A and B are shown apart, each in its own frame.
Chain A
């Protein structure tokens, strides 16, 4: 546990530049939740570094965005009738925000670090995606698959999920007419499951969540616990 302010400021500098990883990111998480709020020196340093980080953006020459961008934004400012399950959407949005908050982070202030930071970022991206009018929200057991047509990745997210048996993990598999594709291990922390699956779901017919032995090679789907049409 770091208590030396020189080292703390090194971490805060790396944090505002978004360049921490591994143990440093975890330590920054701890400092931001345990130490910085109660330390005037660190609060000031963090605020100074954040302002400086934003100023660094100005080293880049300004560049006019495409003329189509503002009209695109204007279109999306219009109230759009939801064609999907708004109740489910609201539940996903609320629980994503809640989980990000519980993780010691704040979606609204964008205060995150390291792996937790990356996880919160991915959850924020999932939330953004879920809010899009064309988003597909498909129940997969206690979780929800969040995707948008044309996106080459999708999210699997759920709360209140029972942990897999000791020594086991949840894994995600995608089924197509030509076989199965491993989508990744679905971590379950404090009842929350979340995974970015780097595949376009439209290329598959089904999505499976399996329980398999931790550490085993994911060569074929194990026991299926939840499934849905991909």
Chain B
């Protein structure tokens, strides 16, 4: 099954979800929980926080499925963005509470990469995953660095500029260049 077939199935699952169909909820959990949890764990660095992020995202989906508007794009775009936003918010809330540093000394071990890779994706998610990873390798290192600091570390552009000791304008320029390049490469994969 290709990426677009997966997107079409998601649309039907979402339609069923709006009627309160729990089977559709379970199927969307089966499809996206692993990707969502992997992302949330990478951002938060703690299993309990990652679990809460995924829990909250699924509950938000259940309570307000109409929040996703199919006219605005694929369901996975909506849902994984929702998970990312909640994970970033969680990271920043933790920082605001000044507890991250305390907890850093008690960080749970990062999941073993082999174990993580052993988790099986939906076939079409696996296809997209390979495409995204391949696309990321085409970025110049300095562009990939700012992109990853923003997306996976949840850092603001101002913080990134401080940490890399470069002007914030450079952070913006590199970020935009990275986004454009990735979009171009993935569009080619999609045959756009």
Contacts and interface: CB of A to CB of B under 8 A. Distances in A.
Contacts of A110: 67, 81-82, 85
Main secondary structure on A side of the interface with B = helix
B26 to A, nearest CB: 7
Interface residues on A, range: 35 or more
Interface stretch (A62-70, A82-90, A162-170, A187-195): A62-70
A69 B54 CA distance: 9
Contacts of B186: 52, 55
Contacts of B36: 57, 65
A95 interface: no
A55 B73 CA distance: 12
A58 B66 contact: no
A90 to B, nearest CB: 14
Nearest to A121: B89
A109 B50 CA distance: 22
Contacts of A81: none
Interface of B: 22, 25-26, 29, 33-39, 41-42, 47, 50-51, 54-56, 58-60, 62-64, 66-67, 69, 72-74, 76-85, 88-89, 92-93, 96-97, 111, 113, 116-117, 119-121, 125, 128-129, 132-133, 136, 147, 150-152, 154-158, 160, 172-173, 175-176, 179, 182-183, 186
Interface of A: 6, 9-11, 13-14, 16-22, 24, 47-66, 69-70, 72-74, 76-77, 107-110, 118, 121, 125, 128, 131, 152-153, 196, 198
